[in-house]
Structure 1
Amino acid sequence: MGAPVAGNAADPAVTPAADHRQTLADWGVQFSATYIGETLADVSGGMRRGAIYAGRLDLGTTIDLDRLLGWRGATFHANMFQIHGNGLSRNYVGNLLLVSGIESLPATRLYEAWIEQSLLGGALSIKAGQQSADTEFIDSRYLDMFVNAALGWPGLTGAVLPSGGPSPPLAVPGIRIKAQLGDNLTASVAVFDGDAAPPGPGDPQIRNPNGLLFRVHDPAWLIGQVKYGFGNGNGMPSGLTAGAWYHFGEFDSQRFTAQGVSIVDPAGSGLPARLRGDQGVFAVIEQPLAHSAADPAKGTGFVARVLASPSDRNLVSFYVDAALLFTGFSRSRPDDKFGVAISYARISDAARGLDRDLRRWSGVASPIRDFEAVIELTYLAQITGNFALQPVIEYVMHPAGGATDPFDPAGTRRIRDALVLGIRTTLSY
């Protein structure tokens, strides 16, 4: 008798679920499920000490439309989030560069839903639909394991773009074009709707509670980048990316009214001037520093990102982060990872000027914001093929740029530097 065919009931190693999953894969349909759960605690500093539990379930499907429908070169993808729990930054630390990339208001929401068409033998691809920017622009695989949100979608774009820009948990409709210009050269450009939520007060996640608004009439956000790969990474990211973005909407002045006086001047209107358009430039460098003897595709990698934007209309005008990622350092635990990273966001000159104006007009020696920085150390232990355990330490310097502590009745004390300890678990299927 021959060996059982994969998926055959005669094979005790094949479960019915695995059998059905293989059948769907043969049709070009793949399903995924990832649950991230984390307990984080502010053990010192911040606005107040405390701990939270937060979780995010990500359910997704990717469909090869060629296999399923005969639509050559086309792929469909969609996923949704079920988010629950509290946010440590929102409720305890009070910082800009959120402690966790999954920190969001509790909700069940559609995230992405797009179709990608590959052309010219894969040299050109066009993606259209509701999508995010953080996985293709200003990104690096060296940063994927880190917990702090700013090490995913950079702290500058997250702070200055309407609704934080197209990044978790809010994607927006858009079109992305990507071209392979040479063996080591790739160019990408995308235009997105410029705001995931309608105008109004309060959190944009409340104004777009389920990700179903599909907004297309807001002033657009345009981003483009060129990436040159050094070609010596042996599977580890290695290259230089440079790019720029432009938003066609209007933005509040960080310091002045339309009449040219300070927003906090009692003789003025108190309403910020509206400034047309916003822009920024960025660069990313990725470089392997050493390859693992056990696996040449692993080793020690370095990444740094730099972003800058105008001071007059942005709370953050300069941002930089850097990280070292260590993989393949243990033959007995080949999939474990260790990383250390630092991120720095400079409060713009205009926002700092407003703080000085407030001191002048109020007579209170309130803090003048300057910067926020976060150091993160984390270790990811891959316990099984689909379960990982990840302790993390973050030290937050000058939360909210060194803003006034909301619990200080005198209004003269900064939010204190915070020490955050936590553990993240990731279960995938």
Structure 2
Amino acid sequence: MRKLLGPISRHVAGLMVAISPLMAGGAALAASTPLVTDILPSGVPLPSPAPGFVLPAEDSSTELLGEAGGARPWLARHGIRVNIQDVEELWGVAAGGLQPGPTYDGMTAMALMFDTRRGFGWPDGLLNVSALQIRGRSLTGERLGAVNAVSGYDAGRSTRLFELWYDQGFFANRLDIRLGSIDLDTEFLVSQNASFFLNSSFGWPLSTSSNLYSGGPSWPFSALGARVKWVPTYALVLMGAVTNDNPTGGPFYSDVAPTQRDPSGTAFSTRGGTLFIGEAQLSLDLARRFAGKDAPALPGTWKLGGLYDTGRFPDQRYDSRGGLLAEPDSTGQPLYHHDNWMVFMVADQMIWRASSESSKTISLFVRATANDGSRNRFSTEIQGGVTFDGLVPGRTDDTIGIAWGTGFYGSRAIGNARDAARLGTSLAGALKPEQHIEATYQAAVTPYLIIQPDFQYFWHVGGTSFDPQTGRPIGNGVVLGVNVTTTF
């Protein structure tokens, strides 16, 4: 199994139960505590989905402040755990895009968890509240012009509540129910290997971030709802959630950024429709399945799921009168359709391990989505990549990765672009799927400090070859960056 980095190893159960139902002496371990990295959008490698994973002991040496003068042990005795993570990023467009140059973005996140068993003897309950402070400028919007943000932290500036929920386990946590304001992308559509990469599409993909209201209940937003997780048998997990589909309560198209519409994260919107999402997860060990029980474990997780949204969604080609949106005399208001849907699959699979106990591993991931092409700008999306753990001599905690992704436009979005070019109402030209490749290296400098230099290359920046405002060609984008993450 991959040797876990300090910032990850303390609060594993929240995702690990989704990856592999934890078993110890025939009994399921507690499942409700979230990962520290659940308050981050991407860029931190999550634990390998190894069957039989044992939750490691808490270790204050993996945090910069350690025991904080005895405050952490005292709080822990009363069931309270506080985690703080700070992210600093510097990005630059070296060539192509809209204009070259650097930008800075950063984020500080704090999460407070209250364990009801330690607090007052109530078993398997957890209260969680987290907050974000996001700062800096958007390299993607100001200098690159891409549809896939170079980083999950490339978001609107705000100081906001992130999540606020109560989680209760039943039947030794084989059944787990969460109620409150929740973020779906910490548990659904997750690829643990894709989460290592910084480009935002490897977290919450275009198929949801562009096709749902305000991107849906995803970082840095949450929405009122409930999530149920059930472990009917070892290696199988079934999850479902029902939430509001519009976390900021605004219209689908707006000149006001979602973080400006709800700058504090306390809107708790009930406007719009209802979002239903479900996922089935199967954990398996291919090596032991095909090569025998003595072979080095090659764990993997395979997921199938889908979502259904009862809201109203804009047609990508026709206006409210049934005419073309690209017509000069169009109303400018799209025709709206009821309901929306998407299906998806995710596969994470380790394909090589040096030996049974070795942290030297190679893993693959693939994720694909599909949905309706009339009301969604992106109808199909696919991503894939490979990660190499512990292969740098003397750097057993470091990871190298390379990944690729693209999103294909729906038939009506393509038709609208052709209409606009034919009628002369746009300078952007035909839509072309934007493709991006990312190569990155994550160095665990200390148990609490991670430095991650990053390279990204974009083809068909913004989904076209021309700037829609000027008609000038947009060159393929070359982006360099570095992410520094500190756990306090």
What residue is the counterpart of 1:164 in the other structure? 215
1:17-70 CA-to-partner distances (Å, cap 9, x unmatched) read: 252211211222111111110100011111111210111001111221111022
Match of 1:301 among 363, 371, 375: 363
Q: Establish whether residue 72 from structure 1 lines up as the match of residue 131 from structure 2.
A: no
Q: CA deviation at 1:295?
A: 4.2
Aligned to 1:428: 487
CA shift, 1:102, in A, is 0.7
Structure 2 SS opposite 1:129: strand
Matched, 1:392 2:454: yes
1:292/1:328 contact within 8 Å kept: no
* CA-CA distance at 1:403 after TM superposition: 5.8
Contact 1:235 1:298 in 2 (8 A): no
Note closer, same or farther for the CA distance 1:98–1:295 as it changes in structure 2 (3 Å cut): farther
Distance of 2:375 and 2:442 partners within structure 1:
39
Structure 1 letter corresponding to 2:267: L
1:385-426 deviation digits (Å, cap 9, x = unpaired) = 101111000001112211641452xx2x44321000011111
Alignment counterpart, residue 368 of structure 1, candidates 423, 430, 439? 430
Larger RCO (alpha carbons 8 Å, 6+ apart) = 2
SS in 2 for 1:108: strand
Give the structure with higher Rg (CA): 1
Deviations 1:301-324 (A, max 9, x none): 101000011111111111010111
Aligned equivalents of 2:95 and 2:201: distance in 1?
A: 21
CA-CA distance at 1:225 after TM superposition:
0.8
Give the corresponding residue for 2:106. 55
Give the alignment of 1:33-112 within 5 angstroms. Answer: 33-112=84-163
SS at match of 1:68: helix
Structure 1 residues 170-319: aligned runs within 5 Å: 170-200=221-251, 201=254, 202-232=256-286, 238-293=300-355, 295-296=357-358, 298-319=360-381
Distance in 1 between residues matched to 2:396 and 2:435, nearest whole Å: 32
Output the CA distance in 2 between the equivalents of 1:344 and 1:18. 48
Q: How far apart are the structure 2 equivalents of 1:294 and 1:56?
A: 38
- Matches of 1:185 and 1:99, distance apart in 2: 34
Q: Which runs of 5+ in 1 are unaligned?
A: 1-13
1:145 CA drift (Å)? 2.0
| Structure 2 spans left out of the alignment, 5+ residues | 1-64, 288-295
Larger deviation, residues 335-344 vs 293-302: 293-302
Contact 2:147 2:461 (C-alpha < 8 Å) held by counterparts? yes
Is 1:415 paired with 2:474?
yes
Alpha-carbon deviations, 1:268-319, whole Å to 9, x = none? 4332111111100000111111114484455111010000111111111110
CA contact (8 A) 1:236 1:298 kept: no
How far the C-alpha of 1:262 sits from its partner, in A, is: 0.8
Letter in 2 for 1:48: Q
Instruction: Tell me the distance in 2 between the aligned counterparts of 1:101 and 1:364.
Output: 30
Q: Secondary structure at the match of 1:21?
A: helix
Cα 1:414–1:250 change in 2 (3 A) is: farther
Secondary structure of the residue aligned to 2:343 is strand
Q: How many residues align?
A: 413
CA RMSD of aligned residues (A): 2.0
* TM-score of the pair, normalised by structure 1: 0.92
Kept in 1: contact 2:92–2:480 (CA 8 A): yes
What is the deviation of 1:162? 0.5
Question: In structure 1, what is the Cα distance between the partners aligned to 2:87 and 2:427?
Answer: 43
- Measure how far apart 1:365 and its partner are: 6.5
88-97 or 22-31, which deviates more:
22-31
Q: Any idea what the Cα deviations from partners look like across 1:76-96, whole Å, max 9, x if unmatched?
A: 111111111111101111111
CA distance in structure 2 between the partners assigned to 1:337 and 1:364 by the alignment: 44
- Determine if the alignment matches structure 1 residue 347 to structure 2 residue 404: no
Give the secondary-structure state (helix, strand or coil) at the position aligned to 2:349.
strand
The CA distance in 1 between the partners of 2:283 and 2:425, in whole Å, is 55
Aligned-partner SS, 1:56: strand
